[in-house]
């Protein structure tokens, strides 16, 4: 469903060229969920925007449902929009505050000529029902809804075009703990009932582990490790993935008191001036001389892949 | 030794001509050298509790009754001028967004020195203490950091600066309002380790407000779970996570995916939403959503009782809950 090869996106800024996405390769099969994990500046959100053609890549190849995303224009771009949709972290920022929910959803339906006239209201009601919202939400404004309801509206809007792929950019991070479970369950049930393919972007390893089939870990514009959900989350190989695994607090004091809590030193370097060799080497607890000069490539190990000289 | 004692605190917010009860009888102790986690979702009253302690309630909000004792002195009874001198020297706060506490137009050093000057520390002594405070939070080259403006620093460095500034006057109590929520996890890890180190070193009483139960499990010795302006349950962290005595704490914990799950079914949901503070139910505020409610829960609001190692505001002991699985709402 998604084929990404050596994808590159560089931004020119006052401080130089920011290499936000710098040679990323992955694929996602139909019906599969890929988790993209990483911290600020790792390129996960830029990757999301490239997938849905909100931004254009500077290099590499990218196809979604057989459409070449990099060159899609006109009818191909419309076809792409109907194939893949983005759900944002903060639906409040992406919903027009002066518009009732019905109007927001109706606009998507009419722009894509999926409903008109008398059929629009029925389709809006279907969409709200699909995401577990009562029909009365149609007459509300975004500020009259709770955070969880707004995120359901965000999902309904993405589903309006009947896409095959959803890119979910931190979809539960802004929600209260108890509401997260509801939205996660909704995503899992929609995936099952509609046969959707997901790219689930999150810094929350627990949620990624819960929803994803495979996980790709990004650091400074590169994928450093990828593999099945249990391999990557429970037995990470790359030193960065291991550090992430250690750093994420687990809601179990018995587990927490037994953990090493090795603190990763320093911060993520400036993506405009990434370190030589392995980009992780200045923070890596096991780096050797070769790591400072030679950039490791993502190398297949059984059914997973790691970019590290030492594991 | 108890440093911070909150006794039956009530705080209201004026809204549309009436007083909304946002904190409804919170009682809480924090000992010297102890971190207590204050957990709750939006609207639970956790931030209003913290702001009441600081005396920094927004316009229209006020403490209507109760006491907030620090080393035995009731802050609520103080005049505003005395209250102000306690802020920083007795009780300090760090925020989710460090820029809340930092002036973008002043160097970091000038800001810390300004806080010291307000308490009578000036000249070379202020400079020495400013640099010592910056050094203490693990920032390299303190003199260079002191000359920097906040926007030149990373998010993690800014939060360290705010901690340095908060602790410069050696307060007895530190209120931490989600100070790591906006940070990356590896930076969060550094800040958690730093605060943990500083509270041991200075015997600080820390009240750590968060919605992240993982953070609580890592750093807090005890935890209070708030719901609809009250403490639903208060217990040792291990006790609460191992055997929550309040159905709300139990439901919250159950809704988080476990890192050891091998089967990934639907997450247990609570269902419904917290009550409107303008129209609180007559009984337990959690009753409409509670899987274990009994008849009397709808008529009277339970007071905290000591049960199973925790103080729990619930009529229904855990033994009567039955099997967890059928108590939770079936996910959609």
Residues B8, B94, single domain; the answer is yes
Residue A29: CB atoms within 10 Å: 12
- Tell whether the model's pLDDT for residue B202 goes beyond 70: yes
Q: Please give the sequence-ordered ranges of beta strands (E in DSSP) within chain B, or none if there are none.
A: 2-15, 18-31, 35-39, 61-70, 73-74, 91-94, 173-177, 205-210, 222-227, 230-236, 305-307, 310-312
Lowest mean pLDDT among A150-154, A171-175, A264-268, B287-291: A264-268
Residue A141, pLDDT score: 96
Q: Could you say which of B184, B253, B261 has the minimum Cβ distance to residue A251?
A: B253
**Does residue B225 sit within a domain?**
no
Which residue would you say has higher pLDDT here, B263 or A222? A222
Residues B216, B315, single domain; the answer is no
Strands A197-202 and A165-169, bridge-based pairing: parallel
- Tell whether the model's pLDDT for residue A38 goes beyond 60: yes
**Does residue B231 sit within a domain?**
no
Q: Exposed, middle or buried by CB within 10 Å (0-12, 13-18, 19+), for B124? A: exposed
By the CB < 8 Å criterion, does A243 face chain B? yes
Which residue would you say has higher pLDDT here, A33 or A117? A33
Can you read off the two tokens belonging to residue A277?
């060799």
Residue A295, pLDDT score: 95
The predicted-structure confidence for B61-86, as pLDDT tens digits, reads as follows 999 999 999 999 999 999 989 998 89
* B138-145 LR contacts (CB < 8 Å, sep 24+): B138/B190, B138/B194, B139/B164, B145/B108, B145/B109
Residue A258, pLDDT score: 81
- In angstroms, what CA-CA distances link B195 with B141, B159, B203, B206? 20, 11, 11, 9
- Tell whether the model's pLDDT for residue B327 goes beyond 60: no
Q: How many structural domains is chain B composed of? A: 2
- Among B220, B242, B264, the domain boundary falls at B220
Q: How far apart are CA A265 and CA A262, in angstroms?
A: 9
Can you read off the two tokens belonging to residue A265?
């030193």
The predicted-structure confidence for A77-112, as pLDDT tens digits, reads as follows 999 999 999 999 887 777 899 999 999 999 999 999
**Does residue B241 sit within a domain?**
no
**Does residue B153 sit within a domain?**
yes
To the nearest 10°, report the CA torsion of B155, B157, B158, B162: 140
Contacting B residues, span 104-163, partner chain A, CB-CB under 8 Å: 154-157
Identify all chain B residues contacting A180, using CB atoms and an 8 Å cutoff: 255
Q: What is the largest CA-CA distance in chain B?
A: 68
ipTM of the modeled complex = 0.89
Distance from CA of A66 to the nearest CA of B (A): 31
Q: Which candidate, A14, A89, A82, places its Cα nearest to that of A270?
A: A14
Residue B323, pLDDT score: 54
Residues B181, B286, single domain; the answer is no
- Among B220, B236, B261, the domain boundary falls at B220
Q: What is the DSSP letter of B84?
A: H
Q: How far apart are CA B216 and CA B310, in angstroms?
A: 16
Lowest mean pLDDT among A132-146, A243-257, B186-200: A243-257
Partner-chain contact B331 A251, CB within 8 Å: no
Q: Exposure pattern of A273-303 as b/e (b: 16+ CB <10 Å)?
A: ebbebbbbbbbbeebeeebeeebbebeeeee
Residue B295, pLDDT score: 93
Residue A262, pLDDT score: 76
B229 touches B23 (CB < 8 A): yes
Residue B296, pLDDT score: 93
By the CB < 8 Å criterion, does B181 face chain A? no
Residues B64, B206, single domain; the answer is yes
Q: What is the CATH number of the domain that holds B117?
A: 3.40.50.300
Q: How far apart are CA A275 and CA A19, in angstroms?
A: 12
Residue with tokens 């931490």: B176
**Does residue B118 sit within a domain?**
yes
- Among B220, B235, B267, the domain boundary falls at B220
Residue with tokens 């790691």: A306
Determine the residue of chain A that is closest to B139 in CA distance.
A266
The predicted-structure confidence for A42-52, as pLDDT tens digits, reads as follows 999 999 999 99
Residue B329, pLDDT score: 47
**Does residue B26 sit within a domain?**
yes
- Please give the residue range of the domain that contains residue B92: 2-220
- Tell whether the model's pLDDT for residue B326 goes beyond 60: no
- Tell whether the model's pLDDT for residue B165 goes beyond 60: yes
Residues B182, B288, single domain; the answer is no
Percentage of chain B with pLDDT > 90? Answer: 83
Q: What angle do CA B150, B152, B154 make, to 5 degrees?
A: 85
Average pLDDT of the residues of chain B: 92
Residues B128, B214, single domain; the answer is yes
Mean pLDDT of A273-288: 94
Lowest mean pLDDT among A14-23, A31-40, B221-230: A14-23
Residue A208, pLDDT score: 96
Residues B151, B292, single domain; the answer is no
Q: E strand or H helix at A81, and its extent? A: helix A74-83
Which residue would you say has higher pLDDT here, B325 or A103? A103
Q: How far apart are CA B240 and CA B237, in angstroms?
A: 5
Residues B176, B262, single domain; the answer is no
Identify all chain B residues contacting A230, using CB atoms and an 8 Å cutoff: 262
Q: How far apart are CA A159 and CA A81, in angstroms?
A: 11
Q: Which residues pair with A37 in a beta bridge?
A: A202, A217
Residues B108, B11, single domain; the answer is yes
Lowest mean pLDDT among A26-35, A256-265, B214-223: A256-265
B248 touches B286 (CB < 8 A): yes
Percentage of chain A with pLDDT > 70? Answer: 100
Q: Exposed, middle or buried by CB within 10 Å (0-12, 13-18, 19+), for B204? A: buried
Q: How far apart are CA A167 and CA A160, in angstroms?
A: 14
**Does residue B330 sit within a domain?**
no
- In angstroms, what CA-CA distances link A143 with A93, A149, A153, A228? 11, 10, 12, 39
Residue A90, pLDDT score: 80
Q: How far apart are CA A134 and CA A125, in angstroms?
A: 8
Residues B215, B268, single domain; the answer is no
Residues B213, B254, single domain; the answer is no
**Does residue B329 sit within a domain?**
no
Can you read off the two tokens belonging to residue A39?
């911290």
Residues B153, B265, single domain; the answer is no
Q: Give the pLDDT band of residue B322 (cuts 50, 70, 90).
A: confident
The predicted-structure confidence for B43-59, as pLDDT tens digits, reads as follows 999 999 999 999 999 99
Partner-chain contact A253 B41, CB within 8 Å: no
Q: Which candidate, A124, A148, A147, places its Cα nearest to that of A136?
A: A124
The predicted-structure confidence for B256-288, as pLDDT tens digits, reads as follows 998 888 889 999 999 889 999 999 999 999 999
Partner-chain contact B217 A255, CB within 8 Å: yes
Mean pLDDT of A212-217: 98
């Amino acid at each position: 469903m998604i084929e990404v090869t050596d994808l590159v996106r560089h931004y020119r800024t006052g401080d130089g060229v920011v290499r936000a996405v710098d040679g990323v390769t992955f694929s996602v099969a139909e019906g599969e969920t890929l988790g993209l994990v990483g911290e600020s500046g790792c390129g996960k959100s830029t990757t999301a925007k490239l997938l849905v053609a909100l931004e254009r890549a500077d290099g590499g190849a990218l196809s979604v449902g057989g459409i070449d995303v990099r060159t899609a224009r006109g009818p191909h771009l419309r076809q792409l929009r109907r194939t893949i949709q983005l759900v944002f972290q903060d639906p409040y920022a992406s919903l027009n505050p002066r518009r009732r929910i019905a109007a927001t959803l109706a606009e998507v339906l009419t722009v894509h000529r999926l409903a008109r006239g008398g059929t629009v209201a029925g389709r809006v009601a279907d969409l709200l029902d699909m995401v577990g919202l009562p029909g009365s939400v149609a007459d509300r404004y975004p500020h009259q809804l709770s955070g969880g309801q707004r995120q359901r509206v965000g999902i309904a809007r993405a589903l309006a075009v009947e896409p095959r792929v959803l890119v979910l950019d931190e979809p539960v991070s802004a929600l209260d703990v108890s509401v997260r479970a509801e939205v996660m369950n909704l995503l899992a049930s929609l995936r099952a009932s509609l046969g959707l393919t997901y790219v689930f972007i999150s810094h929350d390893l627990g949620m990624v582990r819960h929803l994803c089939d495979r996980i790709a870990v990004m650091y400074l514009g590169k994928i450093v490790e990828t593999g099945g959900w249990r391999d990557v989350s429970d037995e990470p190989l790359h030193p960065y993935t291991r550090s992430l695994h250690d750093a994420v607090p687990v809601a179990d004091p018995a587990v927490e008191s037994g953990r090493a809590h090795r603190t990763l030193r320093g911060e993520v370097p400036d993506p405009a001036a990434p370190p030589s060799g392995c980009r992780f080497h200045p923070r890596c607890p096991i780096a050797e001389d070769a790591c400072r000069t030679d950039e490791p490539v993502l190398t297949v190990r059984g059914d997973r892949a790691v970019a590290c000289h030492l594991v | 030794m108890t440093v911070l004692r909150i006794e039956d605190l009530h705080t209201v917010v004026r809204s549309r001509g009436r007083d909304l009860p946002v904190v409804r009888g919170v009682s809480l102790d924090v000992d010297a050298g102890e971190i207590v986690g204050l957990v709750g979702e939006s609207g639970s009253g956790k931030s209003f509790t913290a702001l009441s302690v600081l005396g920094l309630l927004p316009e229209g909000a006020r403490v209507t009754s109760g006491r907030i004792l620090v080393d035995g002195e009731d802050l609520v009874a103080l005049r505003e001028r005395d209250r102000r001198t306690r802020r920083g020297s007795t009780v300090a706060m760090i925020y989710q967004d460090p820029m809340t506490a930092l002036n973008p137009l002043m160097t970091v050093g000038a800001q810390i020195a300004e806080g010291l000057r307000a308490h009578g520390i000036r000249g070379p002594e202020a400079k020495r203490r400013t640099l010592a405070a910056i050094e203490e939070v693990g920032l390299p080259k303190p003199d260079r950091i002191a000359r920097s403006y906040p926007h030149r620093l990373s998010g993690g460095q800014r939060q360290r600066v705010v901690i340095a500034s908060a602790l410069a006057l050696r307060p007895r109590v530190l209120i931490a309002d989600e100070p790591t929520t906006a940070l990356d996890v590896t930076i969060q890890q550094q800040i958690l380790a730093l605060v943990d180190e500083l509270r041991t070193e200075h015997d600080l009483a820390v009240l750590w407000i968060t919605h992240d139960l993982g953070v609580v499990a890592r750093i807090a010795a005890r935890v209070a779970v708030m719901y609809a302006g009250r403490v639903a349950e208060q217990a040792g962290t291990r006790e609460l996570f191992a055997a929550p005595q309040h159905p709300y704490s139990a439901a919250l914990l159950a809704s988080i995916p476990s890192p050891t799950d091998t089967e990934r079914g639907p997450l247990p949901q609570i269902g419904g939403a917290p009550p409107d503070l303008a129209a609180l139910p007559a009984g337990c505020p959690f009753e409409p959503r509670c899987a274990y409610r009994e008849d009397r829960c709808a008529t009277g609001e339970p007071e905290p009782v000591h049960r199973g190692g925790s103080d729990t505001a619930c009529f229904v002991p855990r033994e009567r809950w039955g099997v967890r699985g059928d108590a939770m709402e079936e996910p959609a």
